[in-house]
Chain A
């Protein structure tokens, strides 16, 4: 049947990846509860046991893979979204974000903020994320934050692998900028960077050393104002000097003082700072999250949930459940409401040992 051009139908309001993650979670949980006549594979039956495994274990094995390609950015819409948390279940989740395509690996979780027009931030909470990113020349920045390591995409192909509190960066093509503990390093194609042990594919390739002083803990570029937030339980020294980045090859890195100073960090920056501190100084991270959660807005909700998640990471289900209850009391329809309820259910089921109160 032929049709004349129709008036534009109402635009479809896409569901967030968080919504999709929740839907997928619920669908397969329901199928797990009432399996079909045919027996599901044992691996599938164990799926939720795997998912609810301690997040700390996932964080320990966290890795981020960033693939920046020269893809056609024009085929992607410019999507303006608030901070959105994407949590993958047992399989990877694909997301179009800004002018990048993200694949959040199984059991991974990221927070996305910004858009293609103003710049985008990907905070890797745990697991793996692969990004196909258009070259950044002439485009607003796209940054990836994984623990204490910040990666600014310039337009290339590279891999970042989370290793404990740090990360390893292997650059295949082009250049990336890695920021770590106040030092910034440009890593070029064929070279690698890691905070403690660097290996380069090309021994002649030079990778500038990273500052090994005791700078502010968060990446300078993302957290320009390093004024400390109230942190009663903060530790004076986050880690031994031996774990600081070591020079690999090459010339000196540009000094961190090149960064543009911003008068006051945004909520996003403060969240990024807290996220960066989680592994090295969780007490400080908790303090920052609490400060953020005391405010309003989407980042307050994210921070309120992050408190629960961080307690979960630390193995204190009871503390996590209390924080989750507080989150639900304030944000009953918040983006992490389902996750918070899940934490509470898990706490109720596991009779946890108390390690403290968030």
Chain B
């Protein structure tokens, strides 16, 4: 089920002004304004979380945590950023903390990896299967690599934007992308389905890092 978010149709400047006014109202505890922000940003928050995590597991709690943080820290919202970007940053932090919390020791032996030798390279590429393998591979990465890679490669955000979202420099984002890509390539050597999925990404990744 999709949800329509009423998008402003005015110019960028008037949109910013309206957004600033809305934030000011919300900071005072105006529930109507807070609900307007919730309605405007919920799709953005969910999208950011979903792209990083790859599923809706624990999503209600994560969206809830994100919005509570959004409203509790709304007074610190800097107007030079957009509310969308700001909410995205908080969602990214929420996802990051979540990944850190639930992180389990990662085996590098390959014993727990998806071994696809039996599958055969001539198997019809199943998109769902490929995506599952992709996120299974991301699951084994450190959160900072996973978050960065998901936002850049999966969600298509620019390096600069991801740098802002994750609070690091663009150079650090590039480094993380390189490491994430190397890690995925290592796993893809044992998983032709994942390899096929990543082959489509590789060209984009290389171009995106230039």
Contacts and interface: CB of A to CB of B under 8 A. Distances in A.
B64 A23 contact: yes
Interface in B54-93: 54-56, 59-60, 63-64, 67-68, 71-72, 75
B110 interface: no
Given A6-B204, A28-B31, A13 B4 contact: no
B64 A30 contact: yes
B68 A30 contact: yes
A94 to B, nearest CB: 5
A294 interface: no
Interface in A74-97: 76-77, 79, 81, 84, 90-91, 94-97
Interface size class of A (residues with CB under 8 A): 35 or more
A13 B131 CA distance: 13
B59 A94 contact: no
Nearest to B199: A7
Contact of A3 (B71, B127, B156): B156
B54 A10 contact: yes
Contact of A40 (B4, B29, B54): B29
Contacts of B1: 14-17, 79, 81, 84, 95-97
B20 interface: no
A1 interface: yes
A21 B45 CA distance: 15
A9 B156 contact: yes
Interface residues of B, number: 52
Q: What DSSP secondary structure best describes chain A's contact surface?
A: loop
Nearest to B201: A7
Nearest to B135: A10
A27 B74 CA distance: 14
A242 interface: no
A17 B159 CA distance: 33
B178 to A, nearest CB: 16
Interface stretch (A31-39, A228-236, A247-255): A31-39
B3 A14 contact: yes
A27 B68 contact: yes
A7 B131 CA distance: 11
B203 interface: yes
B56 A3 contact: no
Contacts of B27: 36, 38
A290 B111 CA distance: 50
Contacts of A27: 38, 64, 67-68, 71
A26 B208 contact: no
Contacts of B75: 36
A7 B197 CA distance: 8
A9 B51 CA distance: 9
A88 to B, nearest CB: 11
Interface in A116-137: none
B120 interface: no
B35 interface: yes
Interface in B35-54: 35, 38-39, 42, 46-47, 50-51, 54
Interface of B: 1-6, 27-32, 34-35, 38-39, 42, 46-47, 50-51, 54-56, 59-60, 63-64, 67-68, 71-72, 75, 127, 131, 134-135, 153-156, 158-160, 197, 200-201, 203-204, 207-208, 210
Given A6-B200, A81-B1, A94-B5, 8 more contacts: A1-B159, A3-B208, A4-B203, A4-B207, A14-B1, A36-B29, A36-B72, A44-B31
Interface of A: 1-10, 12-17, 19-20, 22-24, 26-28, 30-31, 35-36, 38-41, 43-44, 47, 76-77, 79, 81, 84, 90-91, 94-97, 101
